[in-house]
Amino acid sequence: MTVLKQNKLPFNVRNADQINESLGANALPHNMAQVPITEFINKDINDDVQDKGCPYITTVRDAREFDESIWAPYTQMRDDIKEPLAASLNLTVEYEDELDFHKFEVLTDTDVALNFEG
């Protein structure tokens, strides 16, 4: 574990003083914040990507996950990549067409992982 001494990072940041002055008390530029960190303080988080213990994410995800109208704008992207994706993963386009948005997205993640990791 790295212990910070005198509020210095263990690496150099160009224009750190100017950036700190600009940000002030904000964690991100332009007063952006995704979810307060306090939302994630619970005992059921066992890995860095677990979101089951966050009430905000669970509520928003559950309300949106299977609402096809939310995913409709991305249909063209899906159509553009389904043939090369099917060829890459040795699947059929018919199989891909049967999948909902999220299951299709798993295929894209799988293909990226295979290309990255081999």
Confidence of residue 1 (pLDDT cuts 50, 70, 90): very low
Per-residue model confidence (pLDDT) at position 93: 95
- In tens, the pLDDT along 42-83 reads 555 555 556 666 677 778 888 888 888 888 888 899 999 999
> For residue 49, what are the contacts with CB-CB under 8 A and spacing of at least 6?
none
> For residue 113, what are the contacts with CB-CB under 8 A and spacing of at least 6?
none
pLDDT at 110 over 70: yes
Per-residue model confidence (pLDDT) at position 80: 93
Of residues 6 and 24, the one with the higher pLDDT is 24
- Angle at 28 (CA atoms; ends 6, 56), nearest 5 degrees: 115
How many whole angstroms separate alpha carbon 14 and alpha carbon 94?
51
Confidence of residue 115 (pLDDT cuts 50, 70, 90): confident
pLDDT at 116 over 70: yes
- Quickly list H helices, the chain: 16-23, 55-64, 68-71, 75-89, 93-98, 101-117
Q: Are the C-beta atoms of residues 118 and 111 closer than 8 Å to each other?
A: no
- Lookup: tokens for 28: 């991100």
> Whole-number mean pLDDT of the chain?
78
pLDDT at 84 over 90: yes
Query: Which amino acid is it at 36?
Result: P
